[in-house]
Amino acid sequence: MAALHLNEANFEEEVLKSDKPVIVDFWASWCGPCKMLGPIVEQISDERDDVKVCKVDVDANGSLAEKYSVMSIPCVFLFKDGEVAGKSVGALPKDQLLKALGL
Amino acid sequence: MKYDVIIIGAGTAGLTAAIYVQRAGKQALVLEGATYGGQIVNSPEIANYPGFKNISGFEFVTALYEQASALGMEFKNETVTEVTKSDEGFIVTTTVDKYEGASVIIATGAKRRKLNVPGEDEFAGAGVSYCATCDGMFYRKKKTAICGGGNTALDDAVFLSNYCESVTIVHRRDGFRGEPSTLELLRSKENVHFLTDVTVDSLTGEGKLSALNYTDHKTGEKGSLAVDGCFIAVGQVPDTEFVKDIVELDSAGYVIAFEDCRTNIPGIFTAGDCRTKTVRQLTTAAADGTVAALAAVDYVK
């Protein structure tokens, strides 16, 4: 399943109230490493049924980036039960990303 | 299986080498610990590569990777830990497996040098950054510092000064190695400040960075600069630690080789920013990849 693009309006519903753990990739269209990570995040979305995979465009959703103190992108969070359970900064290969998130 | 050429590093040099190896009818294995592409991925715009008026680093390396893949390059996302000699070539050990190659090209490039001060790792991604063009926008209307005195530091300072409330250039000397014209531009900007002839002692904060602490060389006095962000541009280090026991490195860690890309060990070649040379550009990385690949192909013939 393709990653779900989030905004300030649906973040709470899709992430904080999700039954499944949620991977959230904070990215921007001008960020090269974010574009490198994009297909890797999509691949995880296709392969893993046990997690939900979402993306947040920081240009369009500055308040979400600020709320989670995103100061370097790509920045990937793992949310469990509405709480941040893992974080990874920078473009990493799939295995390393999953490991960094504790998945 | 034994590969003709094992290429370590999938930046511009390594991927160019793979193209030439494959086109010569030989088999290349490319090993890369990170995502492919190398440093140029961070560049939003490349305007000095012949044939392209303007292309992003991401588009450039993706095209390069697809070109090498279409030619049959084998690619594995594995970090190389050691290269040793075998009876008929070389054994390249990664964190996952071992591979045998008739020849090896070291194309691991260079990465940003760290300041090596307390707090630097702790606040990475939470105030400490090595890429102003990537992360600058998160510091809009905030106080930032840029550490370094070369062109990268000065260019980063110009970039940041367009967004940030203030930019303080922190440098260990009074003089700058960077372009005088850039320096002049920075001196004319009201929101740019200079803190020179100092040593950075630590980066501190709670949860995220809030201060850069330093010692003034002239007076010996300690001071603290309130910052939301600290960008670090204090040069580069080659990624060659893992081959120091097999090939000759210079005192800074670069693999010693001339324009022919041959190291002191027959069968091991080097290409790109990790090689001893004066000009490190995308074009010279591609040139090295070409030279090293053709030399390796000739060696395994």
Lowest mean pLDDT segment, chosen from A60-69, B141-150, B287-296 = A60-69
Q: Give the gap in angstroms from C-alpha A88 to the nearest C-alpha of chain B.
A: 9
By CB neighbour count within 10 A (0-12 exposed, 13-18 middle, 19+ buried), where does B217 fall? middle
**Range list of H helices, chain B:** 12-23, 57-70, 132-135, 151-161, 180-187, 282-300
Q: Residue B166's closest CA among B145, B149, B135?
A: B145
Q: Give the pLDDT confidence of B20-50 residue by residue, as tens digits.
A: 999 999 999 999 999 999 999 988 889 899 9
Contact B173, B198 (CB under 8 A): no
Question: pTM score, two decimals?
Answer: 0.89
pLDDT at residue number B207: 86
The yes-or-no verdict on residue B153 having pLDDT over 90 is yes
Residue B289 has pLDDT above 90, yes or no: yes
**Which residue is catalytic, options B87, B97, B121, B135?**
B135
3-state secondary structure of B54: coil
For this structure, is B87 an active site residue? Answer: no
**Chain-centroid distance, C-alpha B16:** 17
> B31 by DSSP, 3-state: which?
strand
Among residues B97, B134, B245, B250, the one annotated as catalytic is B134
Q: How much of chain A exceeds pLDDT 70, in percent? A: 100
Taking CB atoms and an 8 Å limit, are A71 and B139 in contact across chains? yes
Q: Look at residue B124 in the predicted model and tell me its pLDDT.
A: 87
CB contact under 8 A, A92 and B58: no
What pLDDT shows up at residue B145? 98
Peptide bond into A74 cis (omega under 30): yes
The catalytically annotated residue of A3, A34, A54, A73 is A34
Residue in chain A nearest B61 by alpha carbon: A36
Distance in angstroms (rounded) separating the CA atoms of residues B155 and B42: 14
> Which residues on B lie below 8 Å from A38 (Cβ)?
none
pLDDT digits (tens, 9 = 90+) for B88-140: 899 999 999 999 999 999 999 998 899 999 999 999 888 999 988 888 889 99
Average pLDDT over residues A45-65: 95
Helix and strand element counts for chain A (H, E): 4, 5
Tell me the pLDDT tens digit for each residue of B217-251.
999 999 999 999 999 999 999 999 999 999 999 99
Q: Rounded to a whole number, what is the distance in Å from the CA of A25 to chain B's nearest CA? A: 14
Q: Is the dihedral of CA B32, B38, B42, B45 positive or negative?
A: negative
The pLDDT assigned to B244 comes to: 97
| Residue B255 neighbours by CB under 8 Å, 6+ apart | B106, B238, B240, B243, B247, B248, B249, B263, B270, B274, B275, B276
Q: What is the mean pLDDT of chain A?
A: 95
Whether B56 and chain A come into contact, CB under 8 Å, resolves to yes
Q: CB–CB of B236/B273 below 8 Å?
A: yes
| B47 CA: distance to closest CA in chain A (Å) | 15
DSSP-assigned letter for residue B258: -
Contact B135 A40 (CB under 8 A): no
Quick check: B125 and A95 CB within 8 A? no
A64-92 residue pLDDT tens: 998 998 999 999 999 999 999 999 999 99
Q: Is the pLDDT of residue B1 over 80?
A: no
Q: Which tokens sit at B247?
A: 């090939």
What is the torsional sign of CA B131, B15, B273, B83?
A: positive
DSSP 8-state symbol, B255: B
d(CA A53, CA A75): 13
List B residues 207-246 in contact with A (Cβ-Cβ < 8 A): 207-208, 229
User: CB distance from B37 to chain A under 8 Å?
Assistant: yes
**Integer Cα distance of B3 and B7 in angstroms:** 10
